[in-house]
Amino acid sequence: LKSNPSNNEEKEAQTQLTKSDELQRLHSQALSAYQQEDYKAAISLLDEILAVCVWDAELRELRAECYIKEGEPSKAISDLKAAAKLKNDNTEAFYKISRIYYQLGDHELSLSEVRECLKLDQDHKQCFSLYKQVKKLNKQIESAEEFIREGRYEDAISKYESVMKTEPEVPVYSTRAKERICHCLSKSQQATEAIKLCSEVLQLEPTNVNALKDRAEAYLLEDMYEE
């Protein structure tokens, strides 16, 4: 205004000033909702602020936290990815993205994100420990799949049993391992065991197409055509 005191400029300045007061008020409300664990309210307030302050990394990280608490990890990922770009050396964002992918069962994407963290800081304790875990699991799954391609079903079964030992805490990996072991049992004509294991998987995931196909193959081996 000092440099260009025209009417239009003054109106524009007053509008921006009012808007900035309003955003600060919304910001306080969002923080207070977050502290009171009302994450839905916090998200809707942060949506309003981020519509204007698009490039604010901290606000994106806060909204990502709310999404995680609300059980919406994929929405958290897009905010964290933006925060990783907006803030230099944002190891924390890469670590969180990697952890979310890991919990969702996407070990390959988890590995690539945790590597980004270690590129920025090779001594990052949390990232290094996660990296070792994901790398080990990734290697076991890759070699199990290689055995399946080669028709070495017994070897694949024992590899997938190792996967369940490596990661007993995240259910998606043991379910996936059981699904693949059932496939191996069915292929190697161990019908009874295949039916039992595929049924376990289908109790957890009734629409798992692979488990349905492999159990059907096993039923055929047992001449159980109706099933």
Please report, as a single letter, which amino acid is at residue 129. Answer: S
Q: Is the pLDDT of residue 112 over 90?
A: yes
Per-residue confidence at 131, pLDDT binned at 50, 70, 90?
A: very high
Q: Is the pLDDT of residue 55 over 90?
A: yes
Report DSSP letters for 68-85, one per residue: HHTT-HHHHHHHHHHHHH
Quote the mean pLDDT of the chain: 95
Q: Is the pLDDT of residue 158 over 90?
A: yes
Per-residue confidence at 157, pLDDT binned at 50, 70, 90?
A: very high
Q: Is the pLDDT of residue 212 over 80?
A: yes
Q: Is the pLDDT of residue 39 over 80?
A: yes
Count Cβ atoms below 10 Å from residue 210 Cβ, excluding itself. Answer: 15
Per-residue confidence at 7, pLDDT binned at 50, 70, 90?
A: confident
The string of pLDDT tens digits covering residues 11-25 is 888 888 899 999 999
Burial class (CB in 10 A: 0-12, 13-18, 19+), 24: exposed
Q: Is the pLDDT of residue 105 over 80?
A: yes
Please report, as a single letter, which amino acid is at residue 182. Answer: C
The pLDDT of residue 164 is 97
Q: Is the pLDDT of residue 43 over 90?
A: yes
What does pTM read for this prediction?
0.88
Tokens encoding 79? 């905010």
Tell me how far CA of residue 201 lies from CA of 52, 125, 136, 187, in angstroms.
46, 35, 24, 17
Burial class (CB in 10 A: 0-12, 13-18, 19+), 122: exposed
Measured distance CA(119)–CA(103) in Å, rounded: 22
The string of pLDDT tens digits covering residues 61-103 is 999 999 999 999 999 999 999 999 999 999 999 999 999 999 9
Q: Is the pLDDT of residue 5 over 80?
A: no
Measured distance CA(69)–CA(63) in Å, rounded: 10
Q: Is the pLDDT of residue 173 over 80?
A: yes
The pLDDT of residue 14 is 85
Residue from 60, 140, 128 nearest 98 by CA: 128
Q: Which residues of 27-65 are buried (b: 16+ CB within 10 A; e: fewer)?
A: bebbeebbeeeebebbbebbeebbeeeeebbebbbbbbb
